[in-house]
């Protein structure tokens, strides 16, 4: 959920609800000779309100599964989830008389606090990461396609290096991968076969002998740098040593600037292509890391929310019974 002017009415409404509930709580405390108690009429009233909000909070997952439902927009539900969730914590504190309690009550309060903090963290990530993603990942792609894009970058890099070194002796799985413009579609099997045969002619030529002439020492140096340092960075999980060499945009630039100073001019175009490929791979690492930050908090927030709901029901039964 993005925090912008559209959230103003929700912020004002939840703040007004908080002020009203606090005013009622303060009057209740002053008028109660025994102080605030969770089992009193108003204590149970606060508990019922807080629990009702919590049940509504847990319905968000169900609402997301049916985006075409007429029960309001998902964005509206999400705004209500965030702002009413903050209000529900105050209502439960008022139910408990602003005491943490002990036993099951204390466990519930700790769980609720963790849920609240994880939710705030999630909202913060949703507002921070998209902006940083725009700045740091110009080549952002669909997250589920990242492994396919990485494989495409690796195959493309192999092809570029083989213009200098001839056959690298690497057998990459024969798959269609995503390049700029997407994957070319063939509706005629014969046309597809003909295109593959034409491409194979160029592949065989490139693998048979170098297409760009450089001296043998430079050729072996390119091969060694590529196989030992660059290509390991183009794997699904980059090797630690190659990651240290190419972990930032500045390191990528410095690494390939160094290679250009020690390699002949004829190899510079290939090195520039490899630099672009390595930079795109680095950006995909950043995107994957941001994606984990955006979603791993849900592994805490969602299970604890449902556990909290179940334990709240247990707490209510035990409290009313005893």
- pTM of the model as a whole: 0.74
How confident is the model at residue 199, as a pLDDT? 62
Name, in order, each residue with C-beta under 8 angstroms of 41's C-beta and a sequence gap of 6 or more: none
DSSP assignment, residue 234?
G
Whole-angstrom distance, CA of residue 246 vs CA of residue 26? 60
**Token representation of residue 147:** 């492994």
Helices in 32-145 by DSSP H: which ranges?
41-64, 74-95, 104-136
In which residue ranges of the chain is pLDDT below 70? 172-202, 322
Determine what percent of the chain falls in helix, strand and coil, rounding each to the nearest 5. Answer: 75, 0, 25
């Amino acid at each position: 959920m993005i925090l912008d002017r559209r959230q103003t009415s929700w912020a004002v409404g939840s703040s007004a609800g908080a002020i009203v509930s606090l005013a009622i709580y303060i009057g209740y405390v002053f008028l109660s000779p025994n102080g605030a108690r969770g089992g009193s009429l108003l204590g149970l009233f606060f508990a019922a309100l807080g629990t009702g909000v919590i049940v509504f909070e847990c319905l968000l997952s169900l609402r997301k599964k049916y985006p075409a439902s007429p029960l309001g927009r998902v964005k509206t539900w999400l705004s209500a989830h965030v702002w009413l969730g903050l209000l529900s914590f105050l209502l439960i504190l008022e139910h408990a008389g602003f005491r943490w309690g002990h036993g099951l009550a204390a466990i519930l309060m700790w769980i609720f606090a963790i849920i609240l903090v994880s939710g705030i963290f999630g909202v913060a990530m949703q507002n921070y990461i998209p902006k940083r993603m725009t700045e740091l990942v110009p080549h952002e792609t669909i997250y589920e396609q990242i492994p396919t894009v990485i494989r495409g970058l690796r195959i493309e890099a192999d092809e570029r290096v083989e213009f200098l070194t001839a056959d690298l002796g690497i057998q990459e799985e024969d798959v269609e991968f995503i390049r700029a413009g997407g994957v070319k579609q063939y509706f005629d099997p014969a046309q597809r076969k003909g295109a593959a045969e034409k491409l194979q002619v160029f592949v065989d030529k490139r693998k048979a002998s170098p297409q760009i002439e450089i001296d043998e020492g430079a050729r072996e140096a390119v091969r060694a740098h590529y196989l030992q340092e660059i290509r390991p960075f183009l794997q699904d999980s980059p090797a630690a040593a190659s990651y240290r060499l190419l972990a930032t945009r500045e390191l990528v630039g410095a690494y390939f600037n160094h290679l250009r100073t020690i390699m002949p001019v004829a190899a510079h175009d290939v090195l520039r292509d490899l630099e672009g490929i390595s930079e795109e791979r680095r950006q995909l690492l950043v995107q994957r890391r941001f994606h984990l930050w955006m979603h791993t908090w849900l592994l805490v927030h969602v299970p604890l929310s449902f556990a909290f709901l179940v334990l709240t029901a247990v707490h209510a039964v035990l409290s009313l019974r005893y």
